[in-house]
Every structure is written in C-alpha cells, then in structure tokens.
A and B are shown apart, each in its own frame.
Chain A
Amino acid sequence: MSTLKHKGKGPQSLTANELREGLNVWMTEDLTWSRDFKDAMTTEDPDVMERMKHRGDTDEADNLVVGVYFIDIEPETGLPARYREKFRAKGPSIDTADLVEGS
C-alpha cells in the first residue's frame, strides 16, 4: 500500500480497502466508495483533493476503510499509472472462482 512510487502529480484518484470485507475501493464523485474503478473520481484540483483526503481520513478513522492513498492516473487512458494499481483496478487476470460451478 505504499504511496512512495506515486508521483502525486497530474490526475489523482483515491483508493483504499474496505475494512470489513477487504475489497479494493475507489472514491467516487459524491465522496463515497465504489468497488468498481470505473466509478472513481479523478481530479487535479487541489481543493477537491483536499476534500477527498479529508473524507478518506474520516472514513479510515470511522473504521470503514483501511490504507487510504492517492494514485496517479494516466491522463490519456484514465487508468491508474502504476502497473500494480492497474491490477488492483482490473482484478486478477485468472481466478479459479470463474471455473467453480454456480459462481
């Protein structure tokens, strides 16, 4: 969950994990959390980022999410810049769950 390799410049989104369920979430425009990266708000506006951060910290303090951090977003694609974050957004490229009957 290191933020170190994110440049923190250009478009940013805010991500975390749900505390109870553990799944990855991204902050949406109405400052709630979505498990779907497509819903993620992306911004370069420092004021908006400040509000996002405040909301993220509050939700972390309220034990809703853990490990809140900003990620760089590629302006061209709208996808996370870092390879690892792309995977967090996309989900596993293979999951045996998909082969389990009834799943």
Chain B
Amino acid sequence: MYRYDEFDAQIVAERVAQFRRQVERRLDGRLSEAEFRPLRLMNGLYLQLHAYMMRVAIPYGTLSSRQLRQLAMIADKYDKGYGHITTRQNIQYNWPELIDVPDLLNDLAEVEMHGFQTSGNCIRNVTSDPYAGATADEIEDPRPTAELLRQWSTLHPEFAFLPRKFKIAVTASPNDRAVIKAHDIGIEIVKNDDGDVGYHIIVGGGLGRTPIIGQTVRAFLPREELLPYLEAILRVYNRFGRRDNKYKARIKILVTETGIEEFTRMVDEEYAQLKPLDIAVSPEEVARITAYFADPDYETLDNEPKAYLSEIASNRDFALWVDSNIAAHKQAGYAIVNISLKPLDRAPGDITSAQMRKVADLADEYSFGEIRTTHQQNMILPHVKQSDLPVLFKELQKAGLAEDNIGMITDIICCPGMDFCALATARSIPVSQAIAERFSDPERERAIGEMQIKISGCINACGHHHVGHIGILGLEKAGVEFYQVKLGGDASENAAVGKVTGPGFSQEELVDGIERMVDFYLDQRGEGERFIDTYNRLGMEPFKEVLYVD
C-alpha cells in the first residue's frame, strides 16, 4: 500500500495547524462565517441538516487496518460511534463538533489521512476499482495511476477553483466496478494492438441533475502522456466551463454543448501548447509509486482446497455467503471477500466503531492488513485464503457483518437523504429499508439474482439513482414526500441512464410497485436473464403497466 512520503506528511501537518488557527479565529470572531465556510469545506467539514459533518478522504478506497482502527477511534472520540461509507468510497461522520475538528484532523494525520478534496470545486478524491490488485480481470493494478493522480491533484494551484467539482475514476478492468463513464474523467487502463499499456480517456460523464454518459476523448493515450493530457483537459474546462451558471458548470455540459469532436480539438490544441515533458512523470517515478502496490507475500496454494469445499457442501449459510459475497482472486487459493454494510436494521453504508475494529483485526489476521471501501457502500478484504473463509465467515457473523446480499436487491446504494443531508428533498434511508424488508426472504432474493436499486434524496444524485436498474429519486411537494422511479439505468461498462417511468409514488405505493415489477420480471425472464436484461429486451412499457396497475 502507498505510504505518504515526507511531502505528503508535511502538507497534511501544515494544513492541520493552519485549520486549527482558522477555527480559533472563527470562534473569536476574527473570521466571519462567510470567510470561514470555504476554509472548513476545503478540509471536508460541512454544516448539514442537524450538525457538522466531517468527510474523510479514502484515496481509491484503500485502507490499512491501522487506518481503519484510527477511524474507529475517531468515531468514538469525536462522534457517535459509527461512520458512513459514501458512494465515493469516503467515510463521513455525522456529528462532530467544530471545536473538536482540529484534534480530529490531527488524529487523522497520524495515519496519513485528511479531508482535503472531499468538497469544493477542485479535483476530488480519486476513486477506483475496489478489486484493484486482487482481481484476475485487470490489465494491471489501477492504484498506482490513481495515486499518481492523487499526488498531481493534491492542492494543485491551477485547479483549486474550477467552475465546479471534478471527479476522476480509474479502472484497469473491462468489468467496470468504478462507474467510470459517470465521472468528469473516467480512465480505463487498456492495452493496444502492440501490447502497450496506456489509457482510454473518457470525459464529460456525470450524474446530478443532468445525467450524461461520458464519451471518449482519446481511445489510447500513451502512459507517459497522462498528466500533461489531463492537464490540457482541465485547462480547457477551467477556461470554458460555465462559471455563469452553477447548474451548467460541470464539464459534462461543456462537452455536450461544444460537441465531443470540437472539445477534443480544443484539448489537442491546448495539449500541443504544453511542453508535455514539463509535468510528464518519468518511468522511474512511475516504478517507484508502483512498487508500493506490489503484491503481498502470497503463499503458493491450490485453488479450492478440500476443507473449503466440504464446508460449502455442509454449511448452507456459508455456501450462500460464498455464492454472493466472494469474488475470484488472481492468486490461486485466495479470494476477494465482500463485507456487506447493508443489514436490515442499518442505514446503508453505516458501520459502527466496534465493527470497524473487528474488520481491522480480521484484515490483519486474514488479508495482509488491507481493506477496501466500495462505491456500493460496502467493504472488502481483498486477499483472503480460501481455506480461511469458513472461520472468517464465523467471525463476521459474530460481528453482524455476514449479510449475504452483495449485488442483490437488498444491497441498495442509498444517500443519507433528508435524515442527514441539508440539500435533501426527501428521505432515502427509510425507503431503502422498506424495500430491503419487503425482499428480505433470502430464497426470493436469490431467485431475483443480480439487481441494483439506487436511491437519492434529491436531484444531486449522490445515490446514483440514474444508473440503478431501478433508480429512485425522493422529492417533496407541499410537505409530502414522493418518489420518482427510473428504469433501465446501468452502472457497469454498459453504462446507461435510466428513464423516468412517470408520476411519482408514496413510499408504500413505491414498494408495492417495485414488487410487482420484480414479480413481472420473474415471470417473463429468459434463461440467465437479470432484471436489467429482461428490461432491455422488453422495454419500459410492460414494466410501466405493472408499476402503475392501481
């Protein structure tokens, strides 16, 4: 795993000291709220619906056990004993007090963490494939590239006040687990016909009030050109992005209004003017960063050892958990373990401090001390021996972390909504719980198979509802919540924005309507079809008919 060098450590330490002084000046009135607000936001501190909220960056969703233990300690010391994993792989605390935040940041800095670039119109914390470095289906580990981008974008002076926030995601797998086409820039690490590794650069994707799927601006960018080329894109955006209108200020609007051909031409023109070698990173530096992400010391093992297979054969609960929560590892005899943070009684993505400590201990014991957070608001132990899975499963059961629903109908992405968020128009957490409750029969859930329901509490779409197989948007009219439904969204490599079905529903009507659509799908599906496949085959009309039957 990457460890901060002395520059990172110094930057973070200086920032903590600076923020401590800023808080002091705010408390004694030398700074007004208007002056202080952007300063606290630059450190990830928001003022939400009920209290301050602290968002901590987890670069590309990779955490060490030491960091997770510290996050648990912080949850206990400064908050209410839990944290919330966001759809950008970060963690949020819902109840910190301003007077504590300098100490909180200091404790974060001890484990090389902070809240930079989790707010504001800058390049935000870079996200990536949570299976990075562990999955067989990737060309290479995408995290060295993500780390390079982190170093480049951290406090980048030219891009600290962009027209709007800017999100970058990186993957190296054809199976997109990072929703790269819904980012301002999506980067896919690819190989060209000559076998060279480079970058497929996608630009202008985004969700929010105007969902747009990103388009290719460069099909193959040689590796060493990455930073200069991104610099060129950012410069074009910085110059031509719509600063006059907040709702049109994202790069997706610029790309759409300009057209991808013209936008590409503008980027190429800018690029030609840059001296690429100025900020191009040398192969030696790339190698230095990459070395931090070297494989852990795997043992040489056989795949699927007997004890593991016999546990599957004899323990049904274990077998079901393996079926849904375990993904194939590149190393024989190892597995990627998904830990669901979607039990019925919990807001999606929430994890208590005790559970964080447990996951950290389990990571030390079974996964080389490494943990991942996912944009699906779950966690991952990336490198677990298959032979350890039975005992790991028991440990997770004891900690209430063995929910076996990854990728299924109750594994719902859900933003905090009106329960916590100052921008919300409706609640989202109770809706997700009502849906999860309705489909809580495990047999039925398995029969339904892969299904992605995503819920946002307002048009900002943090809950990714545009790309849910079923997407739900919470709205309010005259003091009454109602929920709009979208169908046919897709967050995978086949990214698609769902279509609105029509008028919205109350929460109860909504859950009934979803159930009818699911039953219809079960009735109509062809061999091996998921909900989204059946939907794509039949189109919206028949689903709409059952949704609006009453």
The A-contacting residues of B in range 333-363, CB under 8 angstroms, are 345-347, 350, 352-354
Q: A17-B47, A63-B27, A84-B418 are in contact. Are A100 and B352 (CB under 8 A)?
A: yes
Contact status of A95 and B98, CB under 8 A, knowing A17-B47, A22-B52: no
- The interface stretch among A6-14, A26-34, A42-50, A85-93 is A85-93
Number of chain A interface residues as a range:
20 to 34
CA distance A91 to B95 in the complex (A): 12
Residue among A1, A60, A96 with the highest chain B CB neighbour number at 10 A: A96
Q: Within the assembled complex, what's the spacing in Å between the Cα atoms of A91 and B27?
A: 26
Contacts of A95 in B (CB 8 A): 80, 94, 347, 419
Q: Is B99 a contact of A83 with CB atoms below 8 Å?
A: no
Q: Which residues of A contact B429 (CB under 8 A)?
A: 93-94
Q: Chain A interface mostly helix, strand, loop or mixed?
A: loop
Going nearest first, the 3 A-B pairs with the smallest beta carbon separation are A97-B80, A100-B81, A22-B52
Sample (10) of A-B pairs whose CB atoms are under 8 Å apart: A20-B27, A22-B96, A23-B51, A24-B50, A83-B476, A87-B427, A97-B94, A99-B352, A100-B82, A103-B80
CA gap between A92 and B94 in the complex, in Å: 11
Q: Is residue B112 within 8 Å, beta carbon to beta carbon, of the partner chain? A: no
A62 within 8 A of B: yes
Are B98 and A21 in touch, CB under 8 angstroms?
yes
| Contact present for B352 and A62 (CB under 8 Å) | no
User: Does A40 sit at the interface, judged by CB under 8 A?
Assistant: no
- Give A100 to B357 CA distance when docked, in angstroms: 13
Alpha-carbon gap, A77 to B294, bound state (A): 63
User: Known contacts A19-B26, A81-B479; is A92 also within 8 Å of B80 by CB?
Assistant: no
- CB of B28 closer than 8 Å to a CB of A: yes
Of B51, B353, B427, which contacts A22 at CB under 8 A?
Answer: B51
- Please tell me if the beta carbons of A63 and B80 are within 8 angstroms of each other in the complex: no
Are B353 and A100 touching (Cβ within 8 A)? yes
Let me know if B33 and A97 touch, CB within 8 A.
no
- Which B residues touch A73, using CB under 8 A? none
Contact status A66-B352, CB under 8 Å = no
Q: Are A101 and B354 in contact (CB under 8 A)?
A: yes
Which residues from chain B contact A17 at a C-beta distance below 8 Å?
A: 47, 51
Looking at the assembled complex, report how far the CB atom of A10 sits from the nearest CB atom of chain B, in whole angstroms. 15
Residue interface mask B456-492, A partner, CB < 8 A = 1: 0000000000000000000010011100000000000
Which residues 78-123 in B have Cβ within 8 Å of A in the complex?
A: 80-82, 84, 94-99
Assuming the contacts A23-B50, A66-B47, asked whether A82 and B80 have C-beta atoms less than 8 A apart, the reply is no
Closest to A21 in B: B97
Contacts of B95 in A (CB 8 A): 97
Q: Any chain A CB within 8 A of the CB of B420?
A: yes
A78 proximal to B (CB < 8 A): no
A67 within 8 A of B: yes
Chain A residues whose CB sits within 8 angstroms of the CB of B283 once the complex forms: none
Chain B interfacial positions (CB closer than 8 Å to A): 26-29, 33, 47, 49-52, 80-82, 84, 94-99, 345-347, 350, 352-354, 418-420, 422, 424, 427, 429-430, 433, 476, 479-481
Q: Please indicate the chain A residues that have their CB under 8 angstroms from the CB of B50 in the complex.
A: 23-24, 88, 91-92
Residues in A neighbouring B419, C-beta threshold 8 A: 87, 92-95
Closest to A17 in B: B47
What is the CB-to-nearest-CB distance from A38 to chain B, in angstroms, rounded to a whole number?
Answer: 16
Give the residues in chain B near A88, CB-CB below 8 Å: 49-50
Most interface-central of B98, B354, B433 (chain A CB within 10 A)? B98
Question: Which A residue sits closest to B426, measured CB to CB?
Answer: A83
> Does the CB pair B420–A92 fall under 8 Å?
yes
Considering the chains assembled together, what is the distance between the CA atoms of A28 and B81 in angstroms?
31
Question: How distant is the Cα of A91 from the Cα of B49 in the complex, in angstroms?
Answer: 9
Flag if B49 contacts A96 (CB, 8 Å). no
Closest to A74 in B: B479
Does the CB pair B97–A93 fall under 8 Å? no
Interchain CB contact under 8 A, B352 and A96: yes
State the Cβ distance, A69 to closest chain B Cβ, in Å.
13
Residues of A within 8 Å of B98, CB to CB, are 19-22
Closest residue of A by beta carbon distance from B351:
A96
In the complex, the answer to whether A100 meets B97 with C-beta atoms within 8 Å is no
**Known A84-B418, A100-B81: A63·B479 in contact at CB below 8 Å:** no
A contact residues around B84 at 8 Å (CB): 96
Q: Would you give the shortest CB distance from A102 to chain B, in whole angstroms?
A: 8
In Å, the complex CA distance between A66 and B33 comes to 7
How far is it, in angstroms, between the C-alpha of A85 and the C-alpha of B112 when the chains are bound?
A: 38
CB-CB under 8 A from A103, the residues of chain B are: 80-81
Q: Are B427 and A93 in contact (CB under 8 A)?
A: yes
Residue contact B97 to A87, C-beta cutoff 8 Å: no
Q: Cβ of B481: which chain A residues have Cβ within 8 Å of it?
A: 83
Contact call B347/A94, Cβ cutoff below 8 A: yes
Report B-chain residues with C-beta under 8 Å of the C-beta of A94: 347, 419, 429-430, 433
Q: Across the interface, do A20 and B33 meet the contact criterion of CB distance under 8 Å?
A: no
Interface string of A55-73 (1 = CB under 8 A from B): 0000011110011000000
